[in-house]
Amino acid sequence: MASFSNLFSPDLIEGISDVLVSAEQIEQRVSELGRAISVDYAGKNPLLVGVLKGVLIFMADILRAITVPVEVDFIAVSTYSPETRDKGLVRLLKDLETPLNGRHVLFIEDVVDTGLTLNYLLSNLRTRSPASLEVCTLFNKSRHRLVDLPIKYTGFDLPDRFVVGYGLDHRERYRNLPFVALLTPQVVHSGRKET
List binders of ligand PRP among 164-183 (CB under 6 A): 169
- The count of chain residues that interact with ligand PRP, using the rule CB under 6 A, is 17
Residue 2 CA to residue 7 CA, distance in Å, equals: 10
116 binds ligand PRP (CB under 6 A): yes
7 contact partners, CB below 8 Å, separation of at least 6: none
1 contact partners, CB below 8 Å, separation of at least 6: 13, 16
CA 24 from centroid of its chain's CA atoms = 18
Q: Which one of 11, 40, 113, 157 is the catalytic residue?
A: 113
Q: How far is the CB of 56 from ligand PRP (least distance, A)?
A: 8
- Applying CB under 6 A, which part among 36-44, 66-74, 111-119, 124-132 lies near ligand PRP? 111-119
- Applying CB under 6 A, which part among 12-20, 99-107, 112-120, 154-162 lies near ligand PRP? 112-120
Q: Which of 37, 59, 66, 111 binds ligand PRP (CB under 6 A)?
A: 111
User: Based on CB atoms, which residue is closest to ligand PRP, 126 or 193?
Assistant: 193
Residue 170 CA to residue 156 CA, distance in Å, equals: 20
Spatial CA neighbour of 93 closest among 117, 77, 109: 77
51 binds ligand PRP (CB under 6 A): yes
Cα torsion 135, 137, 142, 146: sign: negative
Spatial CA neighbour of 97 closest among 64, 74, 63, 131: 74
Q: Is 113 a catalytic residue?
A: yes
114 binds ligand PRP (CB under 6 A): yes
User: Based on CB atoms, which residue is closest to ligand PRP, 61 or 109?
Assistant: 109
User: Based on CB atoms, which residue is closest to ligand PRP, 3 or 81?
Assistant: 81
53 binds ligand PRP (CB under 6 A): yes
CB 110 within 8 A of CB 54: yes
Q: Which residues are catalytic?
A: 113
